[in-house]
Structures are given as C-alpha cells and as structure tokens.
Structure 1
Amino acid sequence: MKKKIKVSTILEVVREAGDLFLQEYKLNAIPINKQQFFSALNSIDERCMAVLKAGLNDEFPETAWNTVDEFDHDGQKQALPLSKYWVCDAMDGAIQYLQHIPGWTINLALICDGELYFSVIYDPLANEMFWAEKGSGAFMNGNPIQPLAKTDPDIMLAVFEYGHQDPAIPGFNQKHGTAVTALLNQYGVVRNYGPHGLQLAYVGAGRIDVFHQLGLDTFNWLAGILIAREAGAEILNAKGESWKWGDESLLVSSPGTGRRLIEETAGNILN
C-alpha cells in the first residue's frame, strides 16, 4: 500500500464503536427465543457498521467493505479481487455481550492486494486496543507486544475454538474431541474463551501460549492473525504448514510451540 494510513483515525473510530456498546452493556434483556436472538445480533451489526462507515469512509473513500457473510464457507476461502477493502467482525463475541458476560470485541482488518495490511481489536471492558500494521510490529495501547518464551508445557495455557460449519460435516465434533483431548494431555491448562481474534492477540502478547481451531473461520481470524504474526507468533494450520488464506484450521503459538505440539501428539491434533 503506497499511501500511509492514518492509524490514529482508525483506532479512534473503532474505539467509538466499542464504547457505544460499552455504555449499554448489560442493559439489554437477554434473548429468550430465536426471533429476539437474531434481531439483537442484526441490531449490533447494523449499529456498529454505521459508526465505522461514518468515521472511515471520508478518510478512506476508495476502500470498499467486505460483503461476504461470515458464515459463507466458499466466500471465506479467498480474498476478494479488490485492491483495498475492510473486513469487520462487528462484534466478535456478540453472544457473550447478549448474555451479559465478558469476552466481546470490535475487530477490523484492512486487506490490500489480497493480503493482511492492518488490523485492530478493541476490548472495551478492559480498555485495551491491540493493533498491527504489516512490517511494523504489534501493539497494545501503544506498547509493543511479543509472545512469551515458555518451554515447560505444564505451565502453558492452550485454548481451543470451533466454528459453525454449515452444512454440518459428519464426524467433525469427534475430530474436535480428539484435538481437545490432545491439548489436555499436552498442556497444564486448557480453556475455551470465546472471542477468536482477541485470543490470537493474547498469543501475541504472551497471555496465551497456544490457540487451536479446526474448521474454516477466516473472518473471525484475520484481525488476530496479523496482530499475532507481527508480534512474533507462529502462524500455522493444524498440519504444521504456514497458514494461508483458505486453510480450514489454525494453530497460533509462541515460536516453536505449535510445531512441537504437532510432533508430540503424533497427528491427533490434525484436521
């Protein structure tokens, strides 16, 4: 990207969107049926996107917005044929928000010529802003971040996630079970937290040692992948190959940890 982007403008707009929902956190009634549930999710998405577009379209008039649904399997397999566009997870962890529990963020990524160029993840409850620009490192509230260099798996924290595969893949839940069992056998602490992107940023910041997920969940990953990568984390798929757009698994860890996991679990962590 030839033109230098105004990072401060992007961060301010993302903060505005997150703080809008922070003001209303726990004030909504928790949905008790599907109609209320999906109506609330749509409202979150529409209101968040309205704030982001109002704040960014004037500064980035030539940058489009992703129009592919996050549950569109084929649409997540490759980048759009556009020179520049935004991918926004309007609220990663919206279910937690609706249920009045922590673990929700505003995620935004800028794609340039099919590659991740800039991303930001804002956690309003913690007042923490993670962001990264390609080739420039990763930061949290202005301070550089990097993974921790632990060597003892007994004191490592591993997390696992899963996506919504539609249509359902036969045997997919069993594969998840095998993978989680491998994590439990390998690490001292294993958790499932919720917001995908934030967990990837936490790997970059040394708060989490291993993130593992089977299945395709590209749009939930993108913002966190760039932050983790720029921080110095290892970005692989579950086969141990360097992750690329369209891969149907993700393994992000401190350097060397993911490859050791694959070697020591003898394939039980594979997709």
Structure 2
Amino acid sequence: MLSSSEIATIHAAVRTAGDQFLLDFRRLPVPQTMAELQARLADIEARCMAALQAPLTAAFPTTPWLAADDFGLSAEAATLPAQYWLCDAMDGAIQYVQQLPGWTINLVLMHQAEPVFAAIYDPLAQELFWAQAGAGAFVNKTPLRPSTKREPGVMVAVFEHTHGLDEDVALRQRVSQGLATLLGTYGVVRNYGPHGLQLAYIGAGRLDVFLQVGRDLENWLPGLLIGREAGADVLTATGQPWQWAADSLLVTALDLSATFPLIQLPA
C-alpha cells in the first residue's frame, strides 16, 4: 500500500496538472481544422505529462510510464512491466477544446496487471476522485457510496463506445443492441463524455449504470478501480465478472445487475 505521504504527492501532482488548464479554458478559440485540433491535443498531452512526470518520477523513480496511446487496446498483461503508471493526459480533451465541461486528468498505478491506485481529477468542480485497492474510494476526503435506487424508471444510465465502429459491422451491431437495451430498461440514458468520470460518478451515486461494448481498457482502468472500491458491481455486458481480456464493461450500483435484466449480447 502507498503511504500517506506518497498519496499526498500523487494528489498534488494531479491537481497541479489539471489546474493549469483552467487558465486557458474558454479563452482559446475552438479549433476549426484538423491541423488545429491535432496541435491543441498534442499541446494538452505534453503539458499534462510534464506536470505529472516531474514530481512523480522523483517520488517513484523506478516506476515507468505508459501513455494511454502507447498502451494499446491489444495489450496483454504478460507483456507489460510489473508496475507502471498509465496516464490519459486529458480524458475528455475534445470537450476541453470545444469549451465544454467534462474533462479530467486520469492516472492509475498498475501492479501485476491490477490497478492499485487511481486518481481522476475534475478541475472545474475541484473534485478529486481517488481510490487505493483494498482501502475504499473517495472524492476529496469524502467516502464514495453508490446509489441505492431499485426503480429503473428513476435510474440514469450512461454509455460509451470504442473507436472503429465505421470499420467493424459486428461491433456496431453489438453497440446498437446494448444501447437499445439501456433505452428500453432505464428512465434516463445519456452519454456524458469522459469514461473515468462517469465510472467515478457510479461510485458516487450520481449515475446508476455504465455500459461500454467494445474493448477500451486504458480508459476503463482508473474509473474501474474507483467504482469497485466504492462498492459498485464491475461486470461484463453479459453479467460475468470483469477481467483483463473482457471486451465490454458494465458497472452498476451494488446488486443492480441481479435485480434487473442483464445486457444480453451475442458473442
């Protein structure tokens, strides 16, 4: 387990990385070309990684870094270091450059193919969601607890989809089936944007169901640990316990999947 001083160092680094972007938020023009967009995204990633790596490399000198883009959807646990940082420089960067809320700094410490510490920081709300394996989940200093709703009509479900839907007809059909199931089961269905924050919101009881069909491991891991440590159920879309090779993710308030119909999708 990390010490209290190590946790404080991580918290400070994540907050510093996120708060620097408040100065430019809604002050820079929205990109109008692909070249402008790519330049802005590259700048965001560089600034974020610099702010995180300087203090955390000093505090954890033997722990390497993997960027989310380098991690890859096909990464196998056996091919990765025993321990490493995985960073999504800004989850929801498109929202940021479009001058919309819903962007966070996500960081997870992996050990033996399991997330052991995660932080998701929302600078606009000044909310830091974090968890340590076996020690619970928190927003700032407040413990997280999932929703206790049991009426589908008052539940809020959210969905995400991975890239490649234009090229994979079978995946597009599975995503459509999952969305149709949500729409037919829950009172409100939305897509909020950043993966990690939506998963943290499940842990906080602000959302009730998260579904993504299609593998998106690097985007799941920080929020997955926070949701699990808060007491949420972390499953696949067909109701099986989630594991590394899973190509879908269903996170719900505790026992919700046992109370209501599961998302049934063909293999």
Please, what TM-score do these two structures have when normalized by structure 1? 0.92
Measure the CA separation in 2 of the matches of 1:79 and 1:201: 27
Figure out how many residues of one structure are paired with residues of the other and give that number. Answer: 267
* Residue identity opposite 1:43 in structure 2: D
Deviation of residue 39 (structure 1)? 1.3
1:216 alignment counterpart: 215
Q: Secondary structure at the match of 1:120?
A: strand
Q: Secondary structure at the match of 1:74?
A: coil
Deviation of residue 255 (structure 1)? 1.1
* Residue identity opposite 1:90 in structure 2: A
8 A contact 1:80–1:114 mirrored in 2:
no
Q: Secondary structure at the match of 2:59?
A: coil
Measure the CA separation in 1 of the matches of 2:174 and 2:145: 31
1:62 alignment counterpart: 62
* Residue identity opposite 1:88 in structure 2: C
* Residue identity opposite 1:31 in structure 2: P
Deviation of residue 261 (structure 1)? 4.2
2:232 alignment counterpart: 233
* Structure 1 stretch displaced more, 216-225 or 28-37: 28-37
* Residue identity opposite 1:60 in structure 2: F
1:40 alignment counterpart: 40
Per-residue Cα deviation, 1:112-160 (whole angstroms, up to 9, x for no partner): 1221100000000111000000100000011101101111111111001
2:142 alignment counterpart: 143
* Structure 1 stretch displaced more, 130-139 or 252-261: 252-261
Deviation of residue 22 (structure 1)? 1.2
Deviation of residue 68 (structure 1)? 5.9
- Aligned-residue Cα RMSD (Å) equals 2.0
1:50 alignment counterpart: 50
1:254 alignment counterpart: 253
8 A contact 2:68–2:218 mirrored in 1:
no
Instruction: Give runs of aligned pairs for residues 80-229 of structure 1, distance below 5 A.
Output: 80-165=79-164, 168-229=167-228
* Residue identity opposite 1:140 in structure 2: V
Deviation of residue 182 (structure 1)? 1.0
1:16 alignment counterpart: 16
Measure the CA separation in 2 of the matches of 1:94 and 1:230: 26
* Residue identity opposite 1:105 in structure 2: T
CA 1:71–1:110 in structure 2 vs 1: closer, same or farther (change >3 Å)? Answer: closer
Per-residue Cα deviation, 1:45-73 (whole angstroms, up to 9, x for no partner): 11100110111111110111015626833
Measure the CA separation in 2 of the matches of 1:230 and 1:133: 8
8 A contact 2:104–2:120 mirrored in 1:
yes
8 A contact 1:165–1:215 mirrored in 2:
no
Deviation of residue 243 (structure 1)? 0.6
* Residue identity opposite 1:159 in structure 2: V
Measure the CA separation in 1 of the matches of 2:32 and 2:266: 37
Gaps of 5+ in 1: none
Gaps of 5+ in 2: none
Per-residue Cα deviation, 1:90-126 (whole angstroms, up to 9, x for no partner): 1000000010000000000000122110000000011
CA 1:71–1:28 in structure 2 vs 1: closer, same or farther (change >3 Å)? Answer: farther
Please, what TM-score do these two structures have when normalized by structure 2? 0.94
8 A contact 2:68–2:87 mirrored in 1:
no
* Residue identity opposite 1:128 in structure 2: E
Deviation of residue 231 (structure 1)? 0.3
* Residue identity opposite 2:20 in structure 1: L
Q: Secondary structure at the match of 1:180?
A: helix
